[in-house]
Amino acid sequence: MAVRKLKPRSSVGLYCLCFLFVASSSLMLGPEDSAPGEDSETIFREARRTMIERDIARRGIKDQRLLQVMATLPRHLFVPEEMRSSAYHDRPLPIGAGQTISQPFIVAFMTELLELKGGERVLEIGTGSGYQAAVLAALVEEVFSVEIRAELSARAERILKQLGIQNVKLRVGNGFHGWAEEAPFDAIMVTAAAPKIPSPLWNQLREGGVLIMPLGKPGHTQQLIRARKIGGRQIIEEHSAVIFVPLTGGTQQ
């Protein structure tokens, strides 16, 4: 398969590691910072506003639909209750099973790289908390999300139902193999790292489609790439240094 690499077209977050704490995170609001008499929803709403202004829009994210979605979506519902005071800090948080919810900027950055218009069918590999799927669901026609850990998929399903999100289909399985029965997809987002693009996922991407994922070895700095399918070839752009958990299962096939 022919692969052509291009220089990064965006310098936003070029050296952003998704496991770094940013300096501004210590200034974010949480319930512990509330003034007497303030209810938690008011506090979380203000925390979302600050997150958008300080950690996302100010760092170069321009998609207004995306900014509006992340300004209204209750991210705190997707993290364990004991972590909710940190839900709007710009850093990843543990969600159990050795997995994390990505920092808000990385969620925004990866989503914007997909260049979504509104009518797409998107495959997500690595449901995790369900937050990324919820963001995508507000921007596209349909989301198909695969998670290898049944307990995470079940938790994400409960939260999505709680929020009334109906255009996300979840599946427990090995994300390396994608979701062939629902292919082809207009866009694919892989929220875990692998040494190379899994061939089953590439085969499930339509001609002209876009795939976003981190490439590299587990435990090492990886490259967040955008691959366009042009004439069946991989036209790859490198966008940012990141660190993601590894894609589980099948990556050596």
Q: Active-site residue numbers?
A: 102
How far CA 124 is from CA of 41, 88, 133, 190, in Å, comes to: 29, 22, 7, 6
- DSSP H or E stretch at residue 205: strand 205-215
3-state secondary structure of 167: coil
Task: Identify whether the C-beta of residue 245 lies closer than 8 Å to the C-beta of residue 100.
Answer: yes
Task: Please report how many Cα atoms fall inside a 13 Å half-sphere around the Cα of residue 112, on the Cβ side.
Answer: 25
3-state secondary structure of 168: strand
* Residue whose C-alpha is closest to residue 196's, from 222, 173, 174, 229: 222
* Residue whose C-alpha is closest to residue 199's, from 177, 220, 183: 177
* Residue whose C-alpha is closest to residue 97's, from 22, 171, 156: 156
